[in-house]
Structure 1
Amino acid sequence: MSIYKSQKGREESLLLYDKQLLKLGKSFLDIYVETSFGKTHIVETGNKKGIPLLVFHGGNSTTAYNLLMCRFLLEDFHIYAVDTIGHPGKSDEVCLSHRGYDYGKWASEVIDQLGYDKIACFGISFGGGILAKLICVAPEKVKKSVLIVPAGISNALPISSVKMMIPLLQYRMTKKKKYLIKTALFMALHEDVLDEDTLDTVKDSFDNVKTKVGMPTNIEEQKLSGYHSPTLVIASEKDCLFPAKKVLARAKQIFTDCRIYELKESGHMHILPPSIKNTIVEFLKESS
């Protein structure tokens, strides 16, 4: 079953994907690897002489958009940006359960197929949840972890999804940009977060993709007994999905080597301050 609402929607979504990837202004390679869950597409880019870094994007979004938001990683790291299977992009349209640990098993197979025994990993939102599941399934394969506004640590009840329904219905009936913005603001809080690429991606998700509501469920602490790698967790104070107060407290509890940072006055969709970008880069470059 397709993850898109129509064939036309699929074409429009992939057109936006390619357009955003070109906006990077960086050379890249398309890699396809086979996993037991289905074929997986990966964008290889960044600094080929840099530290290898496996990157997981947010849900109902794409690797192309995520790379635009994470340009600060391209100079120092050899990026492998994965299209999450069953989400918009060029991997197989095979939907895995957000419960259990299938996403972690899939991510573990991706690492194997790329030819790495161990690699640093970076995940945002849904992608942070995938990384959390990977840490449980194959802790020995994760050299370091950066989790930003991550699912899978301490998820809030999805009350925000209910609040978004009215402006979302207004947008679907009228296709007016003002309702698109109003809907996105439940996640972004501040309008300056909603740049052209972000709004294009949100619009694509609402117009063309069968939106996934379920986020990777919270990982079980007992499954982390084999994981001791350095971990950096960044969460937003006013995130309606994964609030910093709960996420950071549990992260400190369950990860043995964990640094935390709270993005004050920020929502789930946010702009990382330059100081935090530098913190991430330096963390990933530190020898462990």
Structure 2
Amino acid sequence: MSIYKTQYGREMSLKLYDAQLKKLDYSCKDVYVHTSFGRTHIIETGNLSGEPLLVFHGGNSTTAYNLLMYRFLLKDFHIYAVDIIGHPGKSDEVILSSNNYDYGKWASDVISGLGFDKIACFGVSYGGGVLAKLMCIAPEKVEKSVLIVPSGINNAFPISTVKMMIPLLKYKLTKKEKYIKETALFMAIKEEILDKDTLDMVKDSFDHVKTKVGMPSNVSEQLMQQCNAPSLIMAGEKDCLFPARKVLPRAKKIIPNGTVHMLKGCGHMHMMPEREKKMIVDFLSV
């Protein structure tokens, strides 16, 4: 069963993927690994003599867009940016349950498929939830972890996410692009965050992808306690999906070797401030 609404939609989505990848101005190599859930596509890019870093993107979005948003990582790290299976991109269209630990098992298979015993990992939003599941299922494979506005720690779906559906429905009915912006603003808070790449990605997701509403469910404290990898957890103060006030206290409680940090004034979609960029690079470089 396709994750796209139509074959044309799939082609348009992959066209945007390739166009956004070109904007990085870094050479990108396609790598495929076989997992027990299906074939998985990875973009190998960044500083090929740097430390390896496995990167998981957000849901209903792509690894190409995610690399644009976190391109500051490319200068220092040898990036393996994975297309999450069952999400837009070039991996198999196999949909895994977000309520169990299948995504953790899949991510563990990806690390083995790339030939690593263990690797530093970076996960954003849905990808943060995938990384959290990996930390529970195969803690020995995670050298370090950075979780940015992550699902899977303490998900909150307050009333604002229901309100977000109103402009989305208006867009579906009218196809007026102003409603895309209105919908995205619930997650971005500030209009300047909605640059062309972000709006292109959101529009592509609404137009062409069968949107997944379910996020990776909260992980078990008992399983997470087994992961001693140094971990950095950053959550947005004004995030409507995974607010810092919920995520950070539980992260502190369940992640043994974790450092927590609030992204002040930031919503779910954000431009990472310079200070926090440096914090992430320093954390991964030690």
Shorter-chain TM band: over 0.9
Aligned to 1:89: 89
Distance 2:146 2:225 in 1: 19
1:222-256 per-residue CA deviation (whole Å, 9 max, x = no partner) reads 01232111000000011111010110101111111
Aligned to 2:249: 249
Aligned to 2:191: 191
Aligned to 1:179: 179
Please give the secondary structure, in 1, of the residue aligned with 2:87.
Answer: coil
Aligned to 2:215: 215
Aligned to 1:40: 40
Please tell me the residue identity of whatever aligns with 1:4: Y
User: How much does 1:161 deviate?
Assistant: 3.1
User: How much does 1:258 deviate?
Assistant: 1.1
Please tell me the residue identity of whatever aligns with 1:272: M
Please tell me the residue identity of whatever aligns with 2:124: I
Please tell me the residue identity of whatever aligns with 1:130: V
Aligned to 2:205: 205
Distance 2:123 2:160 in 1: 22
Please tell me the residue identity of whatever aligns with 1:134: L
Aligned to 1:283: 283
User: How much does 1:165 deviate?
Assistant: 1.6
Distance 1:226 1:143 in 2: 13
Aligned to 1:167: 167
Is 2:146 the counterpart of 1:143?
no
Please tell me the residue identity of whatever aligns with 2:44: E
1:172-209 per-residue CA deviation (whole Å, 9 max, x = no partner) reads 12221211100111111110110000000000000000
Aligned to 1:154: 154
* RMSD between superposed Cα atoms in Å: 0.8
Please give the secondary structure, in 1, of the residue aligned with 2:53.
Answer: strand
User: TM-score of the superposition, structure 1-length normalised?
Assistant: 0.98
User: How much does 1:157 deviate?
Assistant: 2.4
Please tell me the residue identity of whatever aligns with 1:95: I
Distance 1:211 1:203 in 2: 12
Distance 2:93 2:164 in 1: 26
Is 2:34 the counterpart of 1:24?
no
User: TM-score of the superposition, structure 2-length normalised?
Assistant: 0.99
Aligned to 2:4: 4
Moved over 4 A (4+): none
Is 2:226 the counterpart of 1:265?
no
Q: How many residues align structurally?
A: 286
**Which ranges in structure 1 are unaligned for 5 or more consecutive residues?**
none
**Which ranges in structure 2 are unaligned for 5 or more consecutive residues?**
none
Range that drifts further, 247-256 or 153-162? 153-162
User: How much does 1:158 deviate?
Assistant: 5.2
User: How much does 1:263 deviate?
Assistant: 1.0
Aligned to 1:65: 65
User: How much does 1:25 deviate?
Assistant: 0.6
